[in-house]
Amino acid sequence: MKSGIVAIIGRPNVGKSTLLNAILKHKVSITSPKPQTTRFNIQAVYEDDRGQIIFVDTPGIFAQVDDPLARKINLKAEESFDLGVDLVLYVVDHTRQRDVEENKTLGIVRRAKAPKILVINKSDVKEPTHIVQYKFLEDEFDTIIHVSALSTHNMPTLLDAIFEYLPEKDPLVDRSILAQPALNMDSKMFIAEIIREKAFLFLRSEVPYSLTSITDDVVERDNGSLYIKARIITSADRYKSMIIGKNGFMIKEISMAARKELETATGKKVFLELTVETDPHWMEYL
């Protein structure tokens, strides 16, 4: 039996969260077309006959850290290596040119003493490609694997490689007493993350990364349905108006999409009461 901790690291928006979801075949990490979606290290557990893997999905590293949120995200990514990881997956996107963020992320990876696998994502995309800019990395990593996190191409090969580098030891987590897949997020945080993902997807470029979400209450009613009370918090009134939308259209769309996904995840009827508030200091509380 093999067991160990595997850190997934890469610059923003290279597909780390999508990769984790693909490996687990279960949604545990939110995704969006924008960077800075993951704001904290998510731990999730994969298990099969070979053993157990605890994945740490780190936030993307930012070259520019002009705001308190970006500074905290960079610190949380670097903190993942304090967990005593057994293996590092360094994810790169060959369709994007190397830049300062990539170099900063690589510097963090180089400091890790654990074995390292270079995961080149988006293998299904042929153009554009800047793969030649990543060729020099082949000599620095123990294994190089091309995958498509979106289509799940080469996931079995990646899992085989991961288990090859993990040590022989007993499982670190007792899955029999945890939800499937096991997570370090409680239900309120999971719900808040789903709401935040839907807000990002619907708002796209209209609102920058100036919002978060909080779940205030989750109540299971006698009929088995779930009543959820949650808030989207943004930094300025002008963003609040955009999130609500004309005649409340946008917040209704966000709420409906989040409710449908939560119903799929829980198998229960969900009633979601979602409001929007302004707090210019919310980033300081994370």
Which of 156, 177, 198 is where one domain is finished? 177
- Report the greatest alpha carbon distance in the chain: 60
Whether 106 is covered by a domain: the verdict is: yes
Residues 280 and 157 in one domain: no
Spatial neighbors of 141 by CB under 8 A, at least 6 apart, are 90, 116, 117, 118
Which of 145, 177, 209 is where one domain is finished? 177
- Say how far apart CA 46 and CA 99 lie, in whole Å: 32
Residue 74's pLDDT is: 44
Residue 170's pLDDT is: 82
Q: Which two tokens stand for residue 200?
A: 């990002």
Q: Which two tokens stand for residue 160?
A: 């085989």
Residues 111 and 224 in one domain: no
- The domain of 200 spans 187-285
The strand pairing partners of 52, in sequence order, are: 3, 47
Cα dihedral value 116, 156, 76, 207, nearest 10: 130
Number of domains in the chain: 2
The CATH number linked to 242 is 3.30.300.20
Whether 53 is covered by a domain: the verdict is: yes
Residues 127 and 40 in one domain: yes
Tokens 């995200």 sit on residue = 73
Residues 112 and 132 in one domain: yes
- Say how far apart CA 55 and CA 183 lie, in whole Å: 10
Question: Taking a C-beta distance cutoff of 8 angstroms, is the pair 120, 102 a contact?
Answer: no
pLDDT tens string for the chain (286 positions)?
A: 898 888 888 888 888 888 988 888 865 544 444 444 444 455 677 888 998 888 887 764 444 444 454 444 445 445 545 556 889 999 999 999 998 888 888 888 888 888 999 999 999 999 999 999 999 998 899 999 999 999 999 999 999 999 999 999 887 665 543 444 444 445 677 788 788 878 888 887 666 567 888 889 888 888 888 899 999 999 889 889 999 999 999 999 999 999 988 887 777 888 999 999 998 887 766 5
The CATH number linked to 74 is 3.40.50.300
Residue 179's pLDDT is: 45
Residues 32 and 129 in one domain: yes
User: Which one, of 123, 122, 46, lies nearest residue 87 by Cα?
Assistant: 46
pTM higher than 0.95: no
Residues 24 and 99 in one domain: yes
Residues 55 and 165 in one domain: yes
Q: Which two tokens stand for residue 276?
A: 């929007």
Residue 103's pLDDT is: 86
Whether 66 is covered by a domain: the verdict is: yes
Residue 255's pLDDT is: 94
Residues 259 and 164 in one domain: no
Residues 30 and 134 in one domain: yes
Residues 151 and 131 in one domain: yes
Residue 42's pLDDT is: 55
Residue 163's pLDDT is: 96
Residues 30 and 64 in one domain: yes
Residues 81 and 221 in one domain: no
Reduced to 3 states (helix: H, G, I; strand: E, B; else coil), residue 49 is coil
Which of 177, 201, 227 is where one domain is finished? 177
Whether 182 is covered by a domain: the verdict is: no
Which amino acid, 132? V
